Structure 1
Amino acid sequence: MSDNLKIITTEDGSHSLYNETLKETYHSFHGAFKESIHVFMLYGLDSWVMENPNRRPLRIFEVGFGTGLNAWLSLVWAEQNQIPVLYHSIEPFPLSEEIYSQLNYGDMDDAIFHYKPYLQRLHKADWDKGVVMSEYFNMKKEKTTLQEVKLYPSDVVFYDAFAPSKQPEMWEKEALNKVCDALNPGGIFTTYCASGQLKRNLKEIGLQVETLPGPPGKKEMTRAWKK
């Protein structure tokens, strides 16, 4: 196992990782599984489909592939809703098989247990090329940084970088503007972060910003729409 990563169990029973170098977790201590569903599925994908019932495919860009939880839940969502998804994710520091093979997300809900094998398939998929993962889910994950990646038009952005206190460069206006510039009109930017500076930056970029109820253990989160 990587020297600086430790698997931890969050309050809803799902795993996350603790980065000992940054002294930061990959997901909320209060529940990794519930956080991802709340922030990215409910206020991201479900909200986009409600506003765009006939637009297909749905194009997602994720900042921070990490444990693969958001990608896996998006695959489950795509299959259950029978909505084609094109998923683009970046991760400069991919996890080793020793770590991702132990993650327990597939055991969290009996209703989606049969999708469990896809979690490791997502991690094992080739980097830097498009891969057909299932009937409704195509993915391209790139081993690169936000500063270096070439972005495609997206409908929903999962902004899941480490907290501003740990990765301040990821929350500066320049980085946010790059992501939001590629966001299609009517698109959604969603993140667990609720900092005032983030909201000011997004408003200055030209997005319509909402403060929404946060996932368990967190009072607020941020969602923004591109007009």
Structure 2
Amino acid sequence: MKRKIITTSDGSKTIQIEDWNEQYHSIHGAIQEANHVFLKHGLLFYSELHSDSKPIAILEIGFGTGLNAFLTLIEAEKLKLSLNYTGVEAYPVQLEEINQLNYVELISESHGAIFEKLHEISWKKQHDITPSFKLEKQEKFFKDITATNEYNIIYFDAFGARVQPDLWTEDIFKIMYNALKKNGVLVTYSAKGSVRRAMQAVGFVVERLPGPPGKREMLRATKHSVSE
């Protein structure tokens, strides 16, 4: 499928799949969306509730351009958090596309080498990106995730249900529910009623929250019991 680099409303770039008219991030602002959905309502929400010194384990569904991981690493440095980050991606973005993105320029030029490292490290192995941020990239389909009670936070950043409805089903959210530890949270930019109902059907307690720029609402789901 034909892909191109586009500029979103906050000046940050993303990748557009032209055949689907679908982007890796919001056209209203890639960085704004990531900060609002995944950092504010995911990482910051969870870390404020759980202030112990244990590393926080994050699973990202759709590693993509690495934007969410990059912002999370920088925020974790500020908050002095230790993170174990796992990014799952069925179709890794090519380096020539990554090199056209402007995240380092807009977010932190001093972290340029770290952004490159996020993409240059090998897959299927955990790497120390910084002393407090470990990253493992897994190249596989989301339906093949088998983790159980392993993660504190899930960033659910799959392509939208309009173009990939199979990624927003009860079957997928059951896998997500199983992967989370008790009191773990899943955050996503989606606010579709069918998505909310699928989450609730597998046991999540779901909240509607104000969405990022250009979107009225988003969802946060919490696991309050331990799966079997």
RMSD after superposition? 1.2
TM-score (norm 2): 0.94
Q: Does 1:212 align with 2:209?
A: yes
The share of aligned pairs that are identical, in percent, is 36
Q: Does 1:41 align with 2:39?
A: yes
Distance, in Å, in 2 between the alignment partners of 1:210 and 1:180 is: 15
TM-score (norm 1): 0.95
Distance, in Å, in 2 between the alignment partners of 1:22 and 1:55 is: 43
Matched-pair contact (CA < 8 Å) for 1:39–1:215: yes
Matched-pair contact (CA < 8 Å) for 1:4–1:21: yes
Matched-pair contact (CA < 8 Å) for 2:4–2:16: yes
Runs ≥4 residues deviating over 4 A: none
Q: Does 1:86 align with 2:84?
A: yes
Aligned partner of residue 142 in structure 2, secondary structure: coil
Structure 2's unaligned 5+ residue stretches are none
Q: Which residue of 2 aligns with 1:159?
A: 156
Q: Does 1:101 align with 2:95?
A: no
Within a 5 Å distance, the mapping from 1:22-41 to structure 2 comes to: 22-41=20-39
Q: Which residue of 2 aligns with 1:173?
A: 170
Q: Does 1:114 align with 2:135?
A: no
Q: Higher mean Cα deviation, 72-81 or 190-199? A: 72-81
Q: Which residue of 2 aligns with 1:65?
A: 63
Matched-pair contact (CA < 8 Å) for 1:79–1:135: no
Report how many residues are paired. 223
Q: Which residue of 2 aligns with 1:190?
A: 187
Matched-pair contact (CA < 8 Å) for 2:16–2:23: yes
Q: Could you tell me how far 1:183 is from its partner in structure 2?
A: 0.6
Q: 2:54 aligns with which of 26, 34, 56?
A: 56
Distance, in Å, in 2 between the alignment partners of 1:132 and 1:166 is: 35
Q: Could you tell me how far 1:138 is from its partner in structure 2?
A: 0.2
Aligned partner of residue 186 in structure 2, secondary structure: strand
Distance, in Å, in 2 between the alignment partners of 1:226 and 1:150 is: 17
Q: 1:9 aligns with which of 7, 11, 20?
A: 7
Aligned partner of residue 182 in structure 2, secondary structure: strand
Distance, in Å, in 2 between the alignment partners of 1:12 and 1:116 is: 20
